[in-house]
Amino acid sequence: MANAKMNTTLLDEAIIFAVTAHGGTERRGKGFPYIVHPMEAVEIVATMTADQELLAAAALHDVVEDTDVTIEEIRQRFGDRVAQLVKAESEIPVVGVSETASWRERKQAAIARIENSSREEKIVAMGDKLSNMRAIWRDYMTQGDKLWTLFHAPNGKSDHEWHYRGLARALSDLSGTFAFLEFTKLITKVFGQAKPERINLDDWQESGDGFTAISYNHKDGRSMMKLYSDFIPPSVPEQELMTSWNLLDLGLNIPKAYRLVTDGVRYGVEFQRITPKKSFARAISENPEQLEFFAREFAREVKILHTKPCNTTAFPSIKKKFHHIVNDAVFLTDAEKSKIHTFIDATKDAKTCCHGDLHIGNIITDGEKNYWIDLADFAWGDPMFDLGMFWFVTHNIDEELNEKLYHITGAQLLQVWNFFLDEYYGADTEDKREDISALIKPYAAFYFILFANRNCDMPYMKDFVRTTLCR
């Protein structure tokens, strides 16, 4: 069967142009023609887009840097957009960085340029960087640490690790693409699992706290971090970092996640700082007259989340998560666990998104956009589990904890719940709130199990589980 026809004129011309420009040159130290590298970059970019101009830019990305071709020639031959994409990927001197600057200073400037570039420019950059990372992996497999003596970096492997992890952060807008996934996996294969970077708390100002973590803003105003309590294992922020990277490709509004950090005792994640920003909980506490607006806005955002198809290979199943949590519940008998497992199995097999820690403290706004935060428990599955978490929050936390975590009273939280139900389920919900809440309560019981597992001296939680799930 013949392949479908498509217009590849621009890409064909770019490939021929690149073959001619790189003709007779070798990929340094590789023993094969240089053109193989830009062709591999084209193949990588093609996994992310079919845009002919981006593919052409990938083919041409090194002609300005490594041949006598100029940006103006690219512009005249292939147009302004391709020329801009090639220029963004060329290793030209960065404004404000001296040619005599150190290796790290020059690479840091290049990383910053990529981080501040457009998504299209990042796609072309990924074609180049992943091709380079594949080459490093192949050479590392045959040469081991002798490989690093062939480069100009003064500190060898540690410099290259710093460089490629920095590139991963700069390219994290592409999280969720197969190219980014391969890039980060190869970084791990060559350099090992990412280690949290030590931060100096003198550079940070505490901005808020919660039950399991404290947030800080950097004094430069550009980033913030969430440091988990010392009883939370490093695997939790590691999962949050990977989850954030994978979520960007789903089209959800979330702050960019940059790196793992530690103060020597606690572990956390550094994020893009959204300014100005307030959580919905804080917005309600400061403007109680807007309680209904934010409750309904929260419901609208949750409905979008709960109808968005989720990447079931990148994220865990929420059903499996709670199967494990039930197995770990020492206060439950085997017979009780069996009943609860049966209930979980009977829930619908939805393949849409669940936040996993759904409440009004985990969504923020800058006045124009809303952003989901605290994403370590993100999963796919039946939205009822998410609604169970929100029921748990709005019905079962004491006043002191309400004030600490949500800055509002229990009565206000119940109002938020009611307006939320009206918006989430439809205009005629008001007379059905109790019936809907009754359907959600069994799913709230799973969060009682979760918190009872952490603190077994919570008899009222155990009683709630038994009366809702084990009858």
Own/partner pairs, 212-220, CB within 8 angstroms, 24+ separation? 213/268, 213/374, 217/273, 218/273
170 or 463: whose pLDDT is higher? 170
Mean pLDDT score, 307-336 = 88
Tens digits of residue pLDDT in 228-256: 988 888 888 887 887 787 777 677 888 88
Peptide bond into 38 cis (omega under 30): no
Ramachandran region, residue 225 (left: φ > 0; alpha: ψ -120 to 50; beta: rest): beta
Amino acid present at 95: V
Coil, strand, or helix at residue 201? Answer: helix
pLDDT over threshold 60, residue 93: no
pLDDT at 312: 84
- Where does the pLDDT of residue 76 fall: very low under 50, low under 70, confident under 90, or very high at 90 and above? very high
pLDDT over threshold 80, residue 397: no
242 CB neighbour count, 10 Å cutoff: 19
Using the 8-state DSSP alphabet, how is residue 146 labeled? G
Domains in the chain, start-ordered, CATH in brackets? 9-191 (1.10.3210.10), 197-272 (3.30.200.20), 278-469 (3.90.1200)
- Return the structure tokens found at 332: 């439950």
Residues 6 or more apart whose Cβ sits within 8 Å of residue 122 = 114, 170, 171, 173, 174
Q: Which residue is listed with tokens 């770019």? A: 14
- Return the structure tokens found at 162: 């710093």
Closest CA to 357 of 451, 257, 262: 451
- Where does the pLDDT of residue 353 fall: very low under 50, low under 70, confident under 90, or very high at 90 and above? very high
